Structure 1
Amino acid sequence: MRFWLASTVSDFGTYITTVALSVLVLVALDGTALDQGLVNASRWAPYLVFGLFAGIWVDQFRRRTVLIAADLGCGLVLAALAVSGALGALNVPAVMALMFGFGTLALMSDAAYRSFLTHLVPRPLLVRANARLQQSMTVAQTTGGAVAGALVALVTAPFALLIDAFSYFFSGAVLISLKGSATDRPPLHNPGSLGRQIAEGLRWIYGHARLGPLAWKSHIWFIGSAIMGAVFPALILNELRLGAFGLGLTMGCAGVGAVLGTLISHRAGERWGTGRVVVASDLFQPLAVALIALSPVVAAAVSSGPATGDAYGSPGEWPAGLWGAFALAAVGQFFFGLAMGAESPLEMGYQQAVTPDRLIARMSATLRSANRGMIVVGAPLGGLIAAAAGVGAALWVASGIMLIAALVLLLSRFSSARVEDDQLTEEEALAGE
């Protein structure tokens, strides 16, 4: 329960930062979609630079210690970002540098997070545990996105970032209190050189008949997701000019969909199989992004509005055409969140359930580093496409890339995977079989 509490509070703050950081870059610093893409890329660049080593480094320490240190460090970075922004001492390169430090700490936390969960929860319950954590995360996304928009408008983006800093401090304090034999397992001492340990982790992931296709799918999907993530704030803030409140509302719709998705995830996986549900969710996501891509077309029908660079006022002042564009973006986000909510707990639960304990940190860090590396590629690419051909074109490219990712998984052996049939026993997991 305390682990869940720490995760939930931190998740809530994260979605405040998602909105606040976009407003900071695009509005306060008068940035472009390319600037937004570069900031997003700097947030995930450490996964590309250090990712293969992260799981090995994490194994040298107790997992709880890594989680506590990462939470406190992330809080300090966000506090520095908030104070600098309030003093007017920020520019886009400075934001990128701070987010690189934040991403390095988050990488260590991510590597420890998944392996730490297997110390708390028996393997047959991992899918359910991930679903519960995902549910709280999506509730945080739903409320955090909506509240963040109003909060940023009320107290400005830098002070909103300070709230996320305190959420990390709170999470670290809760984890400090989380003591016990399960949470304080000694560090793992894996034999062999650094290169040999990295190679062992890579062979496990990409040589596995079902984890391999799942990994390649996720790498391709993250390019499309990064393009969408880079240009969606620009669509809402710069093109539709709905302001921070509009951005929070549309992101909140994704959270509502994700909550519903996580509620059905476990039962859907039991009924139709892990592979079938994940593949179906992946095929549904490009359709959701296509709806969002149509919103600029509707927005073009808006004949009048505020001066360039300003946002519309409250939703009651939006023209009818703008409401149509908002509706498409909101519905697209809802369906995208629904598919993600149904898919994510099954993917994470499957990866944890079939991987030996000594390889979980390496598996997690390797996958996440490769995936985040795709963000480093995709986020600037999205900004460049938006600058050259428009936000709508960038969203269509994102939809197409996600469709390719879904087809890769559909044509693989993972489509028939069932976690109940493939998971290791506790004895096998600890023995590393």
Structure 2
Amino acid sequence: MTTLALPLTAIHLNHANSFETGILLACGRMPYLLLGLFVGLLVDNVSHRLLLMAANMVIALVLSTIPLAVFWNGHVSMFHLYTAATLVGAAMVITDITFLSWVPAIVPHTLWVKAQSRLELGQSAAMIVGLPLAGWLIATFSAPTAIVANIVALMLMTALLPYVTTGSQPGTSMAPHATPQAPRATSSGTLRRILTGAIEGAQFLLHTPPLRAATFATATLIFFYSAYSALFILYLSGSLQLTPEKIGIVTSFAAVGSVTGALLSGIAARWLGLGRVLVTAIIISAGGALLCPLLQGEITVGLSQSIMWFGMQIYNVHQVPIRYTLSPAAIHGRINASIRTLVWGLAPLGAVLGGACGTFLGIRLSLLFAAILMALAAIWIVLSPLWKVRTPQLSQKPG
């Protein structure tokens, strides 16, 4: 819900322009660059459940300041929104990396792709309900009201976390032949050891060609997608003059594509093989994104979102298990952190670039360029060992 509510709060209450919405998106992604590596070290040494619960509480607390500010003052400043987006982004770094590191600790390695598909399917189902609901709440009441609903959902999720069962703790083996737990870098209390532990995942990432290619492809895709996203809501509300309710409806078509992508991801990989399914998914995503600014209209926006997220979902279902397969369990959190730091650390630059291009080139033309450039991500896969993989997933285990 906040995905729509935060930028629409800026647009409706503060008349934010394309550059300001780009900065707002960048604020939410910048913490990945600043904190990602250190959070990975934290995730490898602290209870995953505790981290998720604490981070969710922080997100809920920070988000609550926005509707409170509107209630007391009748408005909320852009500085307040920037600050809230940054703090929420910092907590999201923890939840994101922790969740990705927790999944392989719970699910047997033979079911990783299937589990990832079901997770993406669940997220898509939530989007089908959440986005139209957010649009309705914003149109009927206000954007801050949608934020309140998101806070309630966060609190409910936090309350359910203690009931998640797992037979593994941080540092235990998640896959056959995983490397032993490394000594905790924090025990010495020295900055040098902390830094060494934090960059261990980055070193493994850079020296593992399939993982490196998948990460660089994802980083390229997300960089230009962030440029696209910085302008997308402004394009719908400004250029197409869509109401918040209609924005919620047309963007919810993304979930339809996501559900379809998750359901067909296994069939696609068995037919094409891992390398080709990754490249095909990237090209489909870029083509879907291109459709929105190319052919204007509400139906086109919905179709565009559905096609784009169909490709995105297939890509995610198959690129995430690559790290599960190749990463030693002892440093899995740090590897996830390195990937997230690179992928989402560059995203703020993409968002700012998108906002700046929207200001100088126009929103529609900038969306066209961003969509086309998303397809460049496929080059990393084609030039890597992944392109030659004809099986649905990698069979190599960390050794």
Q: Which residue of 2 aligns with 1:316?
A: none
Structure 1 Cα separation of the partners of residues 394 and 366 of structure 2: 40
Distance 2:117 2:271 in 1: 16
Q: SS at 1:233's partner residue?
A: helix
Is the CA contact (8 Å cut-off) linking 2:219 and 2:346 kept in structure 1? yes
The offset of 1:392, in angstroms, is: 1.2
The question of 1:385 aligning with 2:378 is answered: no
Match of 1:199 in 2: 199
The 3 A distance-change label for structure 1 pair 105 and 245 is: same
Q: What residue number does 2:382 align with?
A: 410
1:241 is aligned to 2:214: no
Q: Which amino acid aligns with 2:148?
A: L
- The one-letter amino acid paired with 2:106 is L
* Other-structure match for 1:142: 128
301, 321, 327: which is aligned to 1:329?
A: 301
Report how far residue 64 of structure 1 moved.
Answer: 1.2
Aligned pairs for 1:224-239 (under 5 A) are: 224-239=224-239
Q: Which residue of 1 aligns with 2:282?
A: 282
Q: Where in structure 2 are the equivalents of 1:170-185 lying within 5 Å?
A: 170-179=156-165, 181-182=167-168
Residue 211 of structure 2 aligns with an amino acid whose one-letter code is L
Kept in 1: contact 2:274–2:392 (CA 8 A): yes
Out of 157, 181, 186, the position equivalent to 2:143 is 157
Q: 2:57 aligns with which of 72, 94, 99?
A: 72
User: Once superposed, what is the RMSD of the aligned Cα atoms?
Assistant: 1.9
Question: Residue type matched to 1:39 in 2?
Answer: L
Q: CA deviation at 1:366?
A: 1.2
Deviation per residue, 1:104-151 (Å, 9 max, x gap): 111111111111111210011011111111001111112211221111
Question: Using the alignment, how far apart are the partners of 1:272 and 1:165 within structure 2?
Answer: 41
Separation of aligned partners in 1, 2:161 and 2:370: 38
CA contact (8 A) 1:146 1:245 kept: yes
Classify 1:423/1:71 alpha carbon distance in 2 versus 1 (closer, same or farther; 3 Å): farther
2:66 pairs with one of 66, 73, 81: 81
Q: Is this contact kept in 2: 1:236–1:246, CA < 8 A?
A: no
The equivalent of 1:343 in structure 2 is 315
Q: What code does the residue aligned with 2:310 have?
A: L
1:190 aligns with 2:162: no
Q: Which amino acid aligns with 2:65?
A: A
- The alpha carbon displacement at 1:196 in A equals 2.3
Map of 2:190 onto structure 1: none
Contact 2:13–2:75 (CA under 8 A) maintained in structure 1: no
CA change 1:135–1:182 in 2 (3 A) is: same
Distance 1:128 1:179 in 2: 19
> What secondary structure sits across from 2:209 in the alignment?
coil
By how many angstroms is 1:180 displaced?
Answer: 5.2
Q: CA deviation at 1:362?
A: 0.9
Query: The residue matched to 2:45 in structure 1 has which SS?
Result: coil
Instruction: Give me the whole-angstrom Cα distance separating, in 1, the residues matched to 2:69 and 2:347.
Output: 26
**One-letter amino acid of the counterpart of residue 347, structure 2:** I
| Structure 1 residue 258, shift from structure 2 partner | 0.8
Task: Provide the rounded CA distance (Å) in 2 between the counterparts of 1:421 and 1:261.
Answer: 20
Number of residue-to-residue matches in the alignment: 383
Q: Is the 8 A contact 1:61 1:186 kept in 2?
A: no
Give aligned-pair identity as a percent: 23
Change (3 A) 1:401 1:184: closer
Tell me how far apart the structure 2 counterparts of residues 408 and 420 of structure 1 sit (CA, whole Å): 17
Alignment gaps of 5+ in structure 2: 174-180, 186-192
Does 1:118 find its partner at 2:104? yes
Task: Say if 1:265 and 1:345, in contact at 8 Å, map to a contact too.
Answer: yes
1:398 counterpart = 2:351: no
SS in 2 for 1:422: coil
TM-score, length of structure 2 as denominator length: 0.91
Verify the 8 A CA contact 1:294 1:328 in the aligned structure 2: no
Deviations 1:29-63 (A, max 9, x none): 21112111111111111001111211012222111
Q: 5+ unaligned residues in a row in structure 1: which ranges?
A: 1-15, 299-324
Which residue in 1 is equivalent to 2:76? 90
Shift, 1:268, TM fit: 2.1
Q: Which amino acid aligns with 2:116?
A: N
Kindly state the Cα deviation for residue 254 of structure 1 after the two structures are TM-superposed: 1.2
